[in-house]
């Protein structure tokens, strides 16, 4: 993993960030596989078990007429730093950025198990996703496939509510849709 202390110092992230936010360091995935194109036609990758669970979740949703598309999957520590650098260059305040982007080293996207999801109709990465049939379906069924909503309203980590951000947990059992 990149030297986090150097990246944090460059970005102006305090050394006590993780303690104040109650966030664990997230290891970068070692093995990744493609789950196909994201909503901008870029290759989207997850670690193999998460990819298998995603495919099962997506297939189950499809059988019920629900469209689920990835917006983003794996993101490296360096890519996370690039996103924050870009927002800083556009004049955004670091405190505001860190409410919607975890500091490099602390993003669930590093693990290759997190996905930002859209229904293909609503604006991606927007709280309005909460009003979609896709979000309602995920809320009822995602746990069955090992996925959970990471950043609910008023979450203890200080992130904005992200109804689009779902993460797979290793101990979950992947199940196929009922026939």
Tokens representing 152?
A: 């609910």
Q: Which residues contact 39 (CB under 8 A, 6 or more apart)?
A: 69, 70, 71, 118, 120, 124
Buried b / exposed e along 88-121 (16+ C-beta atoms within 10 A): eeeeeebeebbeebbbbbbbbbbbbbbbbbbbee
Could you report the per-residue pLDDT of 57-80, keeping only the tens digit for each? 999 999 999 999 999 999 999 999
pTM: 0.91
176 pLDDT band (50/70/90 cuts)? very low
Q: Which domains are assigned to the chain? A: 4-168 (3.30.1380.10)
| Minimum mean pLDDT range among 3-7, 47-51, 85-89, 91-95 | 3-7
pLDDT tens-digit profile of 11-48? 999 999 999 999 999 999 999 999 999 999 999 999 99
Residue for token pair 């189950």: 60
* CA distance linking residue 127 with residue 54, whole number of Å: 22
Based on its alpha-carbon atoms, the radius of gyration of the chain, rounded to whole angstroms, reads 16
SS3 content of the chain, % helix, strand, coil (to 5): 40, 15, 50
> What pLDDT, in 10s, does the model give residues 117-155?
999 999 999 999 999 999 999 999 999 999 999 999 999
């Amino acid at each position: 993993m990149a030297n986090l202390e150097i990246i944090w110092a460059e970005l102006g992230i305090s050394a006590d960030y993780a303690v104040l936010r109650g966030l664990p360091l997230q290891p970068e995935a070692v093995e990744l596989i493609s789950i196909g194109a994201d909503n901008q036609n870029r290759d989207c990758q997850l670690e193999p078990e998460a990819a298998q669970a995603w495919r099962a979740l997506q297939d189950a949703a499809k059988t019920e007429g629900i469209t689920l598309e990835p917006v983003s999957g794996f993101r490296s520590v360096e890519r996370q730093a690039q996103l924050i650098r870009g927002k800083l260059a556009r004049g955004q305040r670091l405190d505001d950025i860190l409410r919607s982007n975890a500091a490099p080293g602390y993003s669930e996207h590093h693990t290759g198990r997190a996905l930002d999801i859209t229904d293909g109709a609503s604006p991606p990465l927007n709280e309005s996703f909460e009003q979609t049939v896709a979000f309602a379906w995920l809320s009822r069924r995602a746990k069955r496939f090992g996925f959970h909503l990471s950043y609910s309203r008023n979450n203890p980590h200080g992130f904005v509510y992200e109804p689009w951000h779902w993460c797979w947990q290793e101990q979950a059992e992947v199940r196929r849709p009922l026939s």
